A = this chain, B = another copy of it.
Amino acid sequence: MRAAVWHGRGDIRVEEVEEARPGPGEVKVAVAWCGISGTDVHEYTAGPIMIPTSPHPLTGAAAPLAMGHELSGVVSEVGPGVEGLAVGDRLACDSSLHCGACAACQAGAQHRCEQGGYLGLSRPGAFAEAICVPAYACFKLPAELEISLGALVEPLSVGVHAMRRGGVEPGSRVAVIGGGPIGLGAVQAARAFGARETFLVEPVPQRRALGERFGAIGLDPSACDLGAAGHAPDVVIECAGHPTSGPLAVRMLRPGGRAVVVALHEAAAELSFNEILFGEKELVGSVGRVARTDFPTVIDLLGRGALDAEAMITRRIGLDEIVAQGFEAMRDDRANQVKILVDPSC
């Protein structure tokens, strides 16, 4: 079958690869759509970051490796020992892989597995006609949900997990820093969790406008004083990863409020521990998602129209276009590209 394979930084090739069979506890999925994530673009422009160059401790895989981890598709084969899934089932799949044995897994926090990996980063991914996926990572889509929207379940679930980590509830005032795909998903999740008011802090006008379409109040960080009273949200969701945005998240909060770190940060930053102290503020991490709870929530919200995945999709392309129209568009046109979906069958 054909797949988009990471060979090295700046070197992704669409080529023929061997089609695997599902192992015990796995299903094979005919990929319908797979989104290009920010992580994927990072691997293309600056990798290897997460892609292993020697065998991954959990999966044993290493580059060259088919990428792609935000997928929807249809079950085409069921491996040994799998119950509750059948050929023809329409799925969204979580890419997180876990060992099941470490302290985090034992405590039910598989998303923080000490040996954890990801489909499309730690073993072959879904920029391919087919992919093998652990059954625990498979979530059925309702018949009425257009299957391409299933490829948005994973990125949207990151926002839902952040709402849960932040304790967002009806009446909350929420600020999201950073209007990339994750931040825009968080804006939508905030509305779905009942936020009374949602701010989006984002310098790029097009992204701010999309956030406003999702009900946020756009704030240009270069044009307003974000630390000023008046905003002082209950919860700040940090999705930018900019050196100033972690400390900004804490500074913006009302006393007693909670800042949630969702973005990866390239360096440490100066934090005022006194701001944490005097305001009894809270700073917490939210890494990925808890698929067993966050995936069903997102699928339910999509089914009820409470999340608008379609508005996040800025382009649909075939596998042959994945580099020029996909990775490079994401890299070069951040203002206009949010989520590019790839159909690996064409």
Contact = CB atoms under 8 A, between A and B. Distances in A.
Copies of this chain, how many?
Answer: 2
Nearest to A104: B255
Interface in A111-143: 112
A305 interface: no
At the interface, is chain A mostly helix, strand, loop or mixed?
mixed
Nearest to A111: B280
Contacts of A270: 268-271
Contacts of A263: 277
Nearest to A286: B280
A224 to B, nearest CB: 22
A225 B327 CA distance: 43
Nearest to A275: B285
Contacts of A287: 277-280
B284 A109 contact: no
Contact of A286 (B104, B109, B261, B277): B277
Contacts of A191: none
A61 interface: no
B112 A256 contact: yes
A75 to B, nearest CB: 32
Residue of A265, A268, A270, A285 contacting most chain B CB atoms (<10 Å): A285
Contacts of A276: 261, 283-285
Interface string A62-82: 000000000000000000000
Contact of A280 (B112, B271, B281): B112
Contacts of A264: 274, 277
B255 A112 contact: yes
A35 to B, nearest CB: 22
B284 A282 contact: yes
A272 B268 contact: yes
A116 B268 CA distance: 33
26 contacts: A109-B255, A109-B256, A112-B256, A112-B278, A112-B279, A165-B280, A246-B271, A246-B273, A263-B277, A264-B274, A264-B277, A268-B271, A268-B273, A270-B270, A270-B271, A271-B271, A275-B285, A276-B285, A277-B285, A277-B287, A279-B287, A280-B286, A280-B287, A281-B284, A282-B282, A282-B285
Given A165-B280, A265-B277, 10 more contacts: A104-B255, A104-B256, A112-B279, A246-B273, A261-B276, A277-B286, A278-B285, A282-B282, A282-B283, A283-B283
Interface of A: 104, 107, 109, 112, 165, 238, 246, 255-256, 261-265, 268-287
10 smallest CB-CB distances across A and B, nearest first, come from: A271-B271, A265-B273, A246-B273, A277-B285, A276-B285, A280-B285, A268-B270, A282-B284, A283-B283, A268-B272
